[in-house]
Amino acid sequence: MNEFADWLQFILDVQVTPASLSALVTYENELLAWNERMNLTAIKEPGVIWVKHFLDSLTCLLAMRNTPMERVIDIGTGAGFPGLPLKIVCPSMQLTLVESVGKKAAFCRHMVQVLDLKDVEVVQERAEVLGQDPRYRESYDWAVTRAVAMMPVLAEYQLPLVRLGGSMLAMKGENASAEVHMAENALRLMGGHFQRLIPITLPGVADQRYLVVINKNHATPQKYPRRPGMPAKKPL
């Protein structure tokens, strides 16, 4: 745990509290226990979980800090990444976790209960449905995703949920720049504008990673997102 705290300090300039570290230990233990019964994650080694799940999730703070982050929505969160680690380290945020797979949504609800996390909603639904729901549409400071889809698809998933002046963040691999280029039309239609790529290097991980940050400058037309399945089937 001390090594993890050092990583946060060195890589992210973030100081983590003992309570947050304890919550992450509980999270790791529950993730490993549930993973014996159902396939929540392919990463099963405890030390690797801290780097490739927890630290990787918290790299989002490189883009999000020093900006409003009162309301955050994590789309396709799986076993809670990156949303739950962000909530554990930044407890004041209001977090919505979106996951369409029942067993993964159930695990997220379990973790929210076990860790006694306040202001966290777990929604078992498709992003396209929430994007047309006035309770969620254009309501968030940040919409984040990790390993969900290609950028043209993510634009239609995320930007309808982001308020004007807010941002979407996509965690991507080495092809991030090419994906942004592919998504230019989709970003424009959704009211987004490319802001920057932030390179990420994790300890012991050779793969190059990036945070793709898109600002929302214009309202998303009401016809977007299209019905469930269409963004992936026919990307803009």
| Distance of alpha carbon 63 from alpha carbon 78, whole angstroms | 21
Band of the pLDDT at 120, cuts 50, 70, 90? very high
176, pLDDT greater than 90: yes
pLDDT in the model for residue 1: 59
Helix, strand and coil percent figures for the chain, each rounded to 5: 40, 20, 35
DSSP state of 81: T
**Sign, Cα dihedral of 54, 60, 66, 71:** negative
C-alpha neighbours within 13 Å on the C-beta side of residue 6: 4
Phi, psi of 99 (to 5 degrees): -150, 125
pTM score: 0.95
Average pLDDT, the chain: 93
Question: Is the pLDDT at 166 greater than 80, yes or no?
Answer: yes
Q: How many CA atoms lie within 13 A of 12 on its CB side?
A: 25
Cβ distance 123 to 101 under 8 Å?
no
Residue 198 pLDDT exceeds 80: yes
pLDDT over 80 at 236, yes or no: yes
pLDDT digits (tens, 9 = 90+) for 105-118: 999 999 999 999 99
**Strand ordering across the sheet containing 71-75:** 120-123, 94-98, 71-75, 140-146, 162-172, 209-216, 192-200
pLDDT at site 2: 63
Q: Is the pLDDT of residue 185 over 70?
A: yes
Q: Is the pLDDT of residue 69 over 90?
A: yes
In the chain, % of residues over pLDDT 90: 80
Q: What is the mean pLDDT of residues 47-69?
A: 92
Phi first, then psi, for residue 136 (nearest 5°) are -120, -30
What domains are there in the chain, each with its CATH number?
61-233 (3.40.50.150)
Q: Are 149 and 118 in contact (CB under 8 A)?
A: no
Query: What integer pLDDT is reported at residue 8 of this predicted model?
Result: 79
Phi, psi (deg, nearest 5) at residue 209: -125, 160
Q: Residue 39 is which amino acid?
A: N
User: What is the average pLDDT across 24-47?
Assistant: 86
| Cβ–Cβ under 8 Å, residues 223 and 236 | no
pLDDT over 80 at 3, yes or no: no
List, in sequence order, every beta strand (DSSP E) within the chain: 71-75, 94-98, 120-123, 140-146, 162-172, 192-200, 209-216
